[in-house]
Amino acid sequence: MVLSVVALQCAAAVRQWRFDVTADGVPIGTHQFVVDENDGTRSVRSEMHFRVRVLLVDAYRYDHRATERWQNDCLAQIESHTDERDRVIDVKGHLEANHFEIDSAAGHSELPACVMTFAYWNPNVLKQSHLVNAQTGAWTPVKIEALGSDVIDVRGQPRKANRYRIRTEKNQIELWYADNDGEWLSMRATTNEGHTLAYRLQ
């Protein structure tokens, strides 16, 4: 049974999304989000584990872990660790009095006080002009398009959903949210190399 976002918020319970991920139709791993909300403060954990194997050898490996703390819809703190093809990237950021400071491999940045990551679990990402990339720390310009209504399969059941597209310089990300309560249901992303990643709720 899928509980509504509103009911979960009222109960101050933990919300979880665990997706099976395919690349061009081939299973490559999972991506999980856990959001623990209490009185407007959110603690968020995300983990992404991808493997592409060729002849029993890992041709591509990607592991990403991030922890975030939010105050309402504003990011207050972030730490992430990404290992991609043995290239390690660490990101740390925190809210100061009137700005958000972030440190990454690209250096030190000062952003506006209220920022959001690509927090797909929160439909308010669809109202933003820039989002923080949790992997790189980059302050990323985005363009949001509403693509109308749709019916998609979620855990073997048809669900009415509203579809959106987030465009960045390198990627296109399509998102589906339930039309009755705004629950995040699905995602599809096209990389700059032309590959398609598809997310399916477990």
Q: What is the pLDDT of residues 98-125, one digit of tens each?
A: 999 999 988 999 999 999 999 999 999 9
CATH fold group of domain 5-201: outer membrane lipoprotein receptor (LolB), chain A (2.50.20)
The residue among 52, 111, 47, 57 whose CA lies nearest residue 81 is 47
Q: What is the pLDDT of residues 60-103, one digit of tens each?
A: 889 999 999 999 999 999 999 999 887 899 999 999 989 999 99
pLDDT band at 193 (very low <50, low <70, confident <90, very high): confident
User: How does the average pLDDT of the chain come out, rounded?
Assistant: 90
The residue among 3, 9, 69 whose CA lies nearest residue 39 is 9
What is the sign of the dihedral through the CA atoms of 121, 147, 129 and 50?
positive
Are 169 and 141 within 8 A, CB to CB? yes
Spell out the SS3 assignment of 132-183: ECCCCCCEEECEEEEEEEEEEEECCEEEEEEEEEEECCCCEEEEEEECCCCC
Q: How would you classify residue 24: left for phi > 0, otherwise alpha for psi between -120 and 50, otherwise beta?
A: left
Query: CA-CA distance, 108 to 102, in Å (whole number)?
Result: 6
Q: What is the pLDDT of residue 167?
A: 96
Coil, helix or strand at residue 55: coil
Q: What is the pLDDT of residues 151-191, one digit of tens each?
A: 999 999 999 999 999 999 989 999 999 998 999 999 999 98
Query: CA-CA distance, 125 to 128, in Å (whole number)?
Result: 6
